[in-house]
């Protein structure tokens, strides 16, 4: 994810940049810090910047863009970065577009924090008055006079970027006068809508829930098999009982069956005896 934060001094860019760094694991790139780091590291671009700064001159755009180019090639910037304080002008924005194009990288979003300038001045005046009452030292760059100059500089140099990025459909404007956490949520919603970030939290929790549900269902099935599984077992049990009963019946005939069998045997015996008696009578008659 590669984004730019735009907004006048006091709009909360620095605070929101830090929160975005923590949330998305990306790096915040501040031109001032990058210049100092490049000078300290003694890189070719850093040495060039050192010479210019030593003579009291302003570091030209091509040198600043060269420092940014070196910085975004570093491993910690692979996940993405937030540019804070750059670009400040339309030519710088054009140079940045060329740089990203050469590196086959895409700028995901430009977030503008829109604030009420008179409210910002009022905040600074209140803060300075409170610090003086407590006997604290007031920073020279944190006074209503300095802020007025910085706001004028922002309007003349940086505000044209709003039109530049709006034309390229990269700009998203958020009310910077809201509470810090509300601004953070609004930025996150905007990044989601632009597809710059994925709803990882939701996807992760859904992925965790699915296997857990399956495991629970499997456990339940193992404990209590479905009715369909119970029926065959029941049928087999019934059939076994019936077979047993039949076998028992075959071994031990009922009283009724035994009586019938005795009567049949008696009839047969009577019939046989009658036949024998008849034969004897016939024989006697023949002899006479």
- Residues recognised as catalytic: 13, 88, 127, 139, 150
Is 155 marked within a binding site? no
What is d(CA 116, CA 259) in angstroms, rounded to the nearest whole number? Answer: 116
Is 273 marked within a binding site? no
Is 15 marked within a binding site? yes
Is 13 marked within a binding site? yes
The conformation of residue 154, written as its DSSP 8-state character, comes to I
Is 12 marked within a binding site? yes
How many beta carbons lie within 10 A of that of residue 153, not counting itself?
13
Is 86 marked within a binding site? yes
Is 31 marked within a binding site? yes
Is 80 marked within a binding site? no
Query: Angle, nearest 10°, between helix axes 180-194 and 13-24?
Result: 60
Joined together, the tokens standing for residue 268 give: 């047969």
CB-based contacts of 40: which residues, under 8 Å, 6+ apart?
A: 46
E strand or H helix at 155, and its extent? none
Is 178 marked within a binding site? yes
Residue 259 to residues 100, 250, 253, Cα–Cα distance (Å): 110, 16, 10
Residue 268 to residues 259, 260, 280, Cα–Cα distance (Å): 14, 13, 19
> Largest Cα–Cα distance in the chain?
176
Is 131 marked within a binding site? no
Give the DSSP per-residue string, 163-226: HHHHHTT-EEEEETTS-HHHHHHHHHHHHHHHTSS--HHHHHHHHHHHHHHHHHHHHHHHHS--
112 neighbors 172 (Cβ within 8 angstroms): yes
What is d(CA 156, CA 131) in angstroms, rounded to the nearest whole number? Answer: 31
Is 58 marked within a binding site? yes
Is 238 marked within a binding site? no
Q: Binding site for ATP: residue ranges?
A: 10-15, 134, 178
Residues in binding site: 10-15, 31, 36, 57-59, 85-88, 92, 134, 139, 150, 178
Known binding residues for AMP: 31, 36, 57-59, 85-88, 92, 139, 150
């Amino acid at each position: 994810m590669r984004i730019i934060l735009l907004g006048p001094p006091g709009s909360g860019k620095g605070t929101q940049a830090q929160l975005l760094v923590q949330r998305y694991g990306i790096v915040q790139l501040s031109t001032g810090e990058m210049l100092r780091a490049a000078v300290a590291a003694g890189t070719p671009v850093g040495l060039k910047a050192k010479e210019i700064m030593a003579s009291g001159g302003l570091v030209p755009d091509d040198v600043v863009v060269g420092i940014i180019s070196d910085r975004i090639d570093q491993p910690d910037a692979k996940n993405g970065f937030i540019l804070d304080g750059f670009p400040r002008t339309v030519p710088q924005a054009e140079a940045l577009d060329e740089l990203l194009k050469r590196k086959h990288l895409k700028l995901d979003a430009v977030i503008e924090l829109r604030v009420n300038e008179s409210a910002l001045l009022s905040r600074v005046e209140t803060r300075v008055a409170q610090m003086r009452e407590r006997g604290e030292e007031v920073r020279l760059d944190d006074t209503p006079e300095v802020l007025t100059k910085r706001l004028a500089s922002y309007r003349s140099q940086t505000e044209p970027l709003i039109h530049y990025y709006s034309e390229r459909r990269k700009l998203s404007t958020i009310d910077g006068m809201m509470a810090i956490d509300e601004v953070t949520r609004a930025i996150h919603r905007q990044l989601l809508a632009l597809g710059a970030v994925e709803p990882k939290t939701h996807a992760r929790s859904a992925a965790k829930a699915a296997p857990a549900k399956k495991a629970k269902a499997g456990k339940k099935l193992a404990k209590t098999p479905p009715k369909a599984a119970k029926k065959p077992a029941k049928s087999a049990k019934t059939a076994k009982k019936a077979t047993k009963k039949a076998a028992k019946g075959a071994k031990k005939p009922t009283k009724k069956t035994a009586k019938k069998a005795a009567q049949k045997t008696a009839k047969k015996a009577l019939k046989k005896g009658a036949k024998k008696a008849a034969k004897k009578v016939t024989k006697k008659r023949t002899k006479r």
